[in-house]
């Protein structure tokens, strides 16, 4: 079933969204992108004459706490939908059930943070540090049992289930995957956002126009090994950028000063270089760096070859020669995936490399390439530089996007398709 085929008139829909938005210390939303991203789905249901029960998580609470209450986003959601959204102080309990049952067409009920219950994630909480293996196993079994009741209760609020939370699709949680079991094929579907994400991933997995270039940045190799290894089977060019650079440089015998480096991953870096060669992938590494004498925006800075960084200095961005090499490769590409900045883009003086990469992607896109940008920090980059409109698709998923591109089946997607 697709959301466009479904008529929500007179129906109650449980919609799982990802309203895990950043809040400042006064609980003001500092970036409402994720809320806006779910609006087309919510509006379609209301326009049909349906009603909505919204489920989401916010942060990583270990139990109920004001800090992670979804009531902080209630007013903004009401403004965005232009109706007064109702709120249930607890996603379980009598209040939620009564309010859900009383919903009239065109009305919306926001449930309190699903992760206030350990059952949402299905992981035991509060286990003593010295718990024995038996105690751990018993706690795990108990939570899996109570998770069934939790999931069933959420499902009982609605006639149909819509998953529009791509950001959590890689988690087999109660509201993102397990709940789908309680609805038949005609009553469960992706929301519009999820449909778009799935389509974008499909394009870089199954409908590749070549050359295909991936730009992998960010801080650590260790968090990206699997995706890098997997990409070596798919791409023509793999650009390594960001903090990962220096692990590769050191592995190749270069001097990296005090640049970020994972010493236990040097072998792995060499192995990846070797694998790229075997597979005929053009692995593109930085040749120069913008180095600083401290980890700060105001540090003294200069350019130098990436393998000749002076003692006490660290690479915080790529240098001009590298920018040129990266941009040339990107501009000749027909499919582009960008994950992770080329440097510490949070510091104004070290944004240039990331901006150049972003601009090259926009130019390639103008010339007909399909470009997918994903992973929290690269999204922040394209937004910061005002380039979001110039790329083909900006994903709302970080981990979910990477896992999907690794070729893993995401539980949140499988649950709808099953």
Selected range binding ligand AMP among 136-144, 153-161, 340-348, 385-393, rule: CB under 6 A: 340-348
Site string for ligand AMP, 306-325 (x = CB under 6 A): ---------xx---------
What's the rounded Cα separation, in Å, for the pair 42 and 195? 14
Which residue stretch of 125-133, 148-156, 325-333, 335-343 sits at the interface with ligand AMP (rule: CB under 6 A)? 335-343
Closest chain position to ligand AMP (CB): 218
Among 343, 358, 397, 411, binds ligand AMP (CB under 6 A): 343
The reply to whether 76 sits near ligand AMP by the rule CB under 6 A is no
Selecting among 49, 59, 106, 376, the annotated active-site residue is: 376
- Per-residue tokens: 88: 């249930």
Dist CA 76 CA 89 (whole Å): 17
Does 243 participate in binding ligand AMP (rule CB under 6 A)?
yes
Q: What's the min distance (Å) between Cβ of 192 and ligand AMP?
A: 27
358 forms part of the interface with ligand AMP (CB under 6 A): no
Contact flag: residue 375 with ligand AMP (CB under 6 A): yes
Q: Say whether 52 sits in a helix, a strand or coil.
A: strand
Binding residue (CB under 6 A) for ligand AMP from 169, 194, 344, 394: 344
Q: Using the rule CB under 6 A, give the single segment among 23-31, 43-51, 215-223, 409-417 that binds ligand AMP.
A: 215-223
Contacts 24+ apart (CB under 8 A), 297-306: 297/347, 297/348, 297/349, 297/350, 298/349, 299/349, 301/349, 301/350, 306/245, 306/246, 306/249, 306/254, 306/256
Instruction: Select the span of 121-129, 207-215, 217-225, 383-391 touching ligand AMP (CB under 6 A).
Output: 217-225
Q: Which of 109, 125, 95 is nearest to 17 (CA)?
A: 109
3-class secondary-structure state, position 330? helix
Catalytic residue, candidates 12, 34, 265, 355: 34
- The conformational region for residue 33 under phi > 0 = left, psi -120 to 50 = alpha, else beta, is alpha
Nearest to 117 by CA among 96, 97, 92: 92
Tokens at 58, concatenated: 């916010």
Phi/psi for 225 (5° steps) reads -55, -50
**Burial (CB count within 10 angstroms: exposed 0-12, middle 13-18, buried 19+), residue 185:** exposed
- The first and second tokens of residue 415, run together, are 């649950």
For residue 285, the minimal CB distance to ligand AMP (Å) is: 13
Is 242 annotated as catalytic? no
Residue from 33, 78, 89, 219 binding ligand AMP (CB under 6 A) = 219
Told to judge if 399 belongs to the known catalytic residues of this protein, a careful annotator would answer: yes
Does 361 engage in binding with ligand AMP (CB under 6 A)? no
CB-based contacts of 9, cutoff 8 Å, min separation 6: 48, 49, 50, 105
3-state secondary structure at position 151: helix
Binding mask 257-276 for ligand AMP (x = CB under 6 A): ---x----------------
CA angle 271, 274, 276 (to 5 degrees): 110
> Which residue among the candidates 49, 254, 398, 399 is catalytic per the annotation?
399
* 374 binding ligand AMP? (CB under 6 A): no
Options 53-61, 104-112, 127-135, 212-220: segment touching ligand AMP (CB under 6 A): 212-220
DSSP letter for each residue of 241-290: -GGGHHHHHHHTT-EETT----GGGHHHHHHHHHHHHHHT-EEE--SEEE
From residue 105, how far is each of 5, 12, 16, 115, 224 by CA, in Å?
Answer: 19, 8, 18, 27, 46
Which of 148, 220, 275, 384 is an active site residue?
220
* 55 binds ligand AMP per the rule CB under 6 A: no
Instruction: Identify the residue among 33, 223, 296, 392 touching ligand AMP (CB under 6 A).
Output: 223
The verdict on 167 binding ligand AMP (CB under 6 A) reads: no
Closest CA to 175 of 156, 193, 192: 156
Residue 328 contacts ligand AMP per CB under 6 A: no
Task: Note whether 372 binds ligand AMP by CB under 6 A.
Answer: no
Helix (H, G, I), strand (E, B) or coil at 137: helix
Shortest approach of ligand AMP to residue 120 CB, angstroms? 24
Q: Does residue number 218 form part of the binding site for ligand AMP (CB under 6 A)?
A: yes
122 as an active site residue: the answer is no
Residues catalogued as catalytic: 34, 220, 376, 399
Residues that bind ligand AMP (CB under 6 A): 218-220, 223, 242-243, 260, 315-316, 340-341, 343-344, 346, 375, 377
């Amino acid at each position: 079933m697709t959301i466009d085929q479904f008529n929500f008139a007179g129906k109650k829909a449980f919609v799982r969204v990802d309203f895990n938005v950043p809040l400042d210390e006064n609980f003001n939303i500092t970036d409402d992108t994720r809320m806006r991203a779910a609006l087309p789905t919510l509006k379609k249901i209301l326009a049909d004459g349906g009603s909505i029960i919204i489920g989401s998580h916010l942060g990583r609470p270990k139990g109920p706490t004001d800090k992670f209450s979804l009531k902080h986003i209630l007013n903004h959601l009401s403004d965005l939908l232009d109706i007064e959204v109702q709120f249930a102080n607890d996603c379980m309990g009598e209040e939620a059930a009564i309010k859900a049952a009383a919903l009239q067409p065109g009305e919306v009920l926001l449930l309190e943070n699903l992760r206030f219950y350990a059952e949402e994630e299905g992981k035991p909480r509060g286990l003593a540090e010295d718990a024995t293996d038996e105690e751990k196993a018993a706690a795990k079994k108990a939570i899996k049992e109570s998770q069934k009741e939790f999931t069933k209760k959420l499902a009982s609020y609605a006639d149909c289930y819509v998953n529009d939370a791509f950001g959590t699709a890689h988690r087999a949680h109660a509201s993102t995957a397990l709940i789908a079991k309680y609805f038949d094929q005609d009553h469960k579907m992706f929301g519009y956002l999820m449909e778009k994400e799935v389509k974008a991933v499909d394009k870089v997995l199954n409908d590749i126009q070549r050359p295909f270039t991936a730009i992998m940045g960010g801080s650590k190799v260790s968090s990206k090994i699997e995706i890098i290894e997997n990409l070596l089977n798919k791409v023509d060019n793999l650009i390594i950028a960001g903090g990962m650079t220096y692990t590769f440089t050191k592995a190749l015998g270069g001097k990296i000063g005090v640049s970020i480096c994972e010493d236990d991953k040097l072998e792995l870096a060499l192995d990846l270089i070797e694998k790229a060669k075997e597979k005929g992938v053009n692995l593109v590494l930085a040749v120069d760096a913008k180095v600083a004498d401290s980890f700060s925006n105001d540090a003294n800075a200069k350019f130098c070859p990436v393998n000749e960084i002076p003692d006490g200095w660290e690479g915080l961005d790529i240098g001009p020669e590298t920018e040129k090499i990266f941009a040339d490769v990107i501009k000749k590409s027909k499919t582009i995936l960008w994950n992770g900045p080329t440097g510490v883009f949070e510091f104004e003086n070290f944004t240039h490399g990331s901006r150049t990469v972003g601009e090259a992607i926009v130019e390639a896109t103008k010339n007909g390439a399909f470009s997918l940008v994903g992973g929290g920090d690269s999204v922040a980059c394209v937004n910061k530089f005002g380039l979001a409109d110039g790329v083909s698709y900006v994903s709302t998923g970080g981990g979910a996007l990477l896992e999907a591109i690794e070729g893993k089946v995401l539980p949140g997607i499988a649950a709808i398709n099953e």
